[in-house]
Amino acid sequence: MGKGRKKGGNHLRKLAGCFLLLWMLLLSACGGNKEGAVPEGWAAAPEAGLAGDAAWEEAPAEEGSQQQASAEELSAATEALADGAEGAFPGLAKDAAAELSAQRLYEGYGEGGTAHWGFDTEEYNALEESGFRMVSVNPLSTFSADVDTASYSNVRRMISDGYGVEEIPEGAVRIEEMLNYFSYEYAAPKKGEPFGVTVHIADCPWNENGKLMQLGLQTEALNLSEAPESNLVFLIDVSGSMDSEDKLGLLQRAFLLLTEQLTAKDRVSIITYAGDERVVLEGARGDEKEEIAAAVEGLFASGSTNGSAAILRAYELAGEYYIKGGNNRIILATDGDLNVGITDESSLKELVEEKRQEGIFLSVMGFGTGNIKDNKMETLADNGNGNYTYIDSYGEAKKVLVEELGANFVTVAKDVKFQVEFNPAAVTAYRLLGYENRSLAEEDFADDKKDAGEIGAGHSVTVLYELITADSDGEPPIRELPGLKYGSGEVVEEIVTKEDVMKEEWLTISVRYKEPEEDSSKLLSYPVSGSSYRKKMHEDMRFAAAVAEFGMVIRDSEYKGSSSFDSILKLLEECDLSGDEYKEEFYYLVKKLMRNS
């Protein structure tokens, strides 16, 4: 499920601010170390972010300090917390207190029987990295579009918390989501088409024998005053584990931001789930901002996570206020506990698939740390025709719910699929970076019953391929494959010059998509020739290459070639990042991970 975590004090960095009081209670209850209190520098350090790292680095992790406790002490402390935390934390039920303490225990024990606080219940799908494919054997590359961004913001959270490379779960690193987090200068759509298409080809920075191709699709941005009416149902987890500022507190601030974007034509409902589900707000107009804000601000977390029929009730409400031709969407907000009434993952998947056919989509927003179920949340959003985002800060909430509101909640093309056919006369082998869990069978491309990704207004999709061209060293194997545009590769001569390759059509990019209200797909095709190659790499491509290298370094990819922190920083330093706060932040994030590791 990912790399093992180092046993150290740096897991406490984000929890320190939120759970310092909890530590004091625990130590008092179990008779632990009472000397020294908080290590110097901790109180002044920020709870997250890229500044003030030195204070954290200097905080000691000595035996007997508040960063560590024996297994026996923690066991006794957990029991004491379950029995008596109500007095220290008013309103916190005993079962919630026990749940809260259990979630903070690290599953492993270090040397000398020492247990560590950490994040032991997060879940990520294992990803099998795509390797090179020979064009003469596999000339078609078929996959679904993906505009989720959760992977990048989640990894950013880990790095901000002090994780090193070895501590980041491999399954948390999805290169396509990292690429798609950022904006690029792609061509706008032509009249009558939903996408603008941009292609860059240059030498591959980490493979001296290869080329790198960047494919970018861009949709038209939407003026929110012209956006379709929205019927939104907030399905909010308010179980005890959500009781922290980076969870329910941040969620409330995020939803208040979204509320400010709504108008009288929109409808809002709120359902919460913990021990049971509760309708907090039903069908309020978007301009009834005080009523909506009061409902959001009045939320509090307590109890276990058992939503009974919460998700069914959410779909019921979405159906009652359904807007024909509008944006009908459930937004599930949780820290990972997806017990919303249907606990079986396959049944949940079937439900959201059924409801998407009725025009009700499901988006998922993840919050907090400790028990993120990344795998389940991504599955629900993908099958619910929605987006999966991870909100790690107020800034990210603003990005998702204000700056990119149209992109995230107004679908302009659904079931978007790509199929790239390579010409063996020009390209010997290729490798798609990322999109491992978006792969489709060749026959799925033309099958309109096969679900694929959705793209919103103003969204861009970025795809990178590593290519080995026919003028590189070595000869490709030849096999007859009838029915292909470019044939089987018989045109490849004994000696292929660079000039010959540049004259050829290298590949054709085909895109299938459906209009939001349609069930039949449309097909667009874009041929790409050697004329797209440039000796000097385009700046957009240079930045995208740095992001890809970053992902490969974290995952220790067998295809990373010469990728390293130094080469990533070199690429970034050759880009003009000024004016783009997210790209500037990425530069400092790379340096922080380099320092952490």
- The tokens describing 582, both together, are 């997210």
Query: Pick the residue with more confidence: 119 or 132?
Result: 132
Domain count, the chain: 3
Instruction: Give the H/E segment covering residue 329.
Output: strand 327-334
Specify the pTM: 0.79
The mean predicted confidence, pLDDT, of the chain is: 81
Model confidence over 330-370: pLDDT tens digits?
999 998 867 766 667 788 888 899 999 999 999 999 999 88
Confidence of residue 489 (pLDDT cuts 50, 70, 90): low
Give the rounded percent of residues in the chain with a pLDDT score beyond 70.
75
% helix, strand, coil for the chain, step of 5: 35, 20, 40
Q: How many helices (H) and strands (E) does the chain have?
A: 17, 19
Tell whether 159 is covered by a domain.
yes
pLDDT at residue number 41: 32
Look at the block and give the residue holding tokens 């901002």.
289
Q: How far is CA 525 from CA 101, 236, 357, 488, 519, in A?
A: 55, 42, 27, 20, 20
Which CATH number covers residue 293? 3.40.50.410
Residue-level pLDDT at 346? 80
Dist. CA 555–CA 397, nearest whole Å? 27
Question: Are both 180 and 324 inside the same structural domain?
Answer: no
CA distances from 44 to 40, 47, 233 (A): 9, 9, 39
Instruction: Report which of residues 50 and 269 the model is more confident about.
Output: 269
Tell me which of 496 and 512 has the higher pLDDT: 512
Q: Under a CB-based contact definition with an 8 Å cutoff, are residues 121 and 401 in contact?
A: no
Same structural domain, 501 and 556: yes
Please report whether residue 127 resides in a domain: no
Q: Is residue 122 part of a domain?
A: no
Q: Please say whether the beta carbons of 335 and 240 come within 8 A.
A: no
AA letter at 199: V
pLDDT given for residue 458 in this prediction: 93
pLDDT of residue 466: 97
Supply the CATH number for residue 147's domain: 2.60.40.1230
**H or E stretch covering 43:** none
Q: What is the pLDDT of residue 503?
A: 82
For residue 340, what pLDDT is reported? Answer: 65
Average pLDDT over every residue of 127-135: 93
Based on the fold, state whether residues 290 and 388 are members of the same structural domain: yes
pLDDT greater than 90 at residue 262: yes
Contacts of 127 (CB under 8 A, 6+ apart): 170, 171, 173, 174, 436, 437
Is residue 124 in a domain? no
Domain boundary among 377, 409, 441: 409
Task: Mark out the alpha helices in 358-480 (DSSP H runs).
Answer: 374-383, 394-398, 405-409
405 with 417, same domain: the answer is: no
Q: Which of 61-70, 226-235, 346-355, 558-567 is the most confident on average?
A: 558-567
Q: In the predicted model, what is the mean pLDDT of residues 275-286?
A: 93
Based on the fold, state whether residues 338 and 236 are members of the same structural domain: yes
Q: What is the pLDDT of residues 460-483, one digit of tens each?
A: 999 999 999 988 864 444 444 456
Q: Is residue 442 part of a domain?
A: yes
In Å, how far are 222, 234, 238, 267, 572 from 258, measured between CA atoms? 16, 11, 19, 12, 33
> If you average pLDDT over residues 531-550, what whole number do you get?
97
Across the range 31-47, mean pLDDT stands at 33
| Residues 311 and 334 grouped into a single domain | yes
Among 269, 264, 276, smallest CA distance to 234 is for: 269
* Residue at 431 is within a domain: yes
**pLDDT in the model for residue 523:** 96
pLDDT in tens, 68-115: 344 444 445 444 444 443 443 344 343 443 443 333 333 322 232 222
In a domain, 41, yes or no: yes
Q: What is the mean pLDDT of residues 359-383?
A: 92
Distances (CA, A) of 346 to 308, 342, 360: 17, 9, 19
Cβ contact 465:545 at 8 Å: no
Quote the tokens at residue 88.
Answer: 């220290």
Residues 291 and 348 in one domain: yes
User: Which one of 409, 425, 441 terminates a domain?
Assistant: 409
| 405 and 423 housed in the same domain | no
Asked which of 384, 409, 434 is the last residue of a domain, the reply is 409
Q: In what order do the strands lie in the sheet with 105-110?
A: 69-70, 114-117, 105-110
Q: Could you tell me which residue, 21 or 429, shows the higher pLDDT?
A: 429
Q: Are residues 172 and 319 in the same domain?
A: no
Query: Which pLDDT score, from 0 to 100, does residue 222 have?
Result: 83
Q: Kindly state whether residues 372 and 513 are assigned to the same domain.
A: no
More confident site: 113 or 224:
224
Closest by CA position to 34, among listed 78, 66, 8: 66
pLDDT tens-place string over residues 140-194: 999 999 999 999 999 999 999 999 999 999 999 999 999 999 999 999 999 888 9
Q: Each residue of 282-319: pLDDT tens digit?
A: 999 999 999 999 999 999 998 776 655 888 999 999 99
267 shares a domain with 214: no
pLDDT score recorded for residue 182: 98
Q: Is the residue at 267 inside a domain?
A: yes
Taking the C-alpha atoms of residue 406 and residue 383, their distance in angstroms, rounded to an integer, is: 20
Q: Are residue 94 and residue 192 in the same domain, yes or no?
A: no
Residue type, 95: D
What is the reported pLDDT for 504?
Answer: 87
Query: What is the residue range of 338's domain?
Result: 224-409
Please check the confidence at residue 594 and state whether its pLDDT lies above 60: yes
120 pLDDT above the threshold of 60: no
* pLDDT score recorded for residue 3: 53
In this prediction, residues 514-539 reach a mean pLDDT of 95
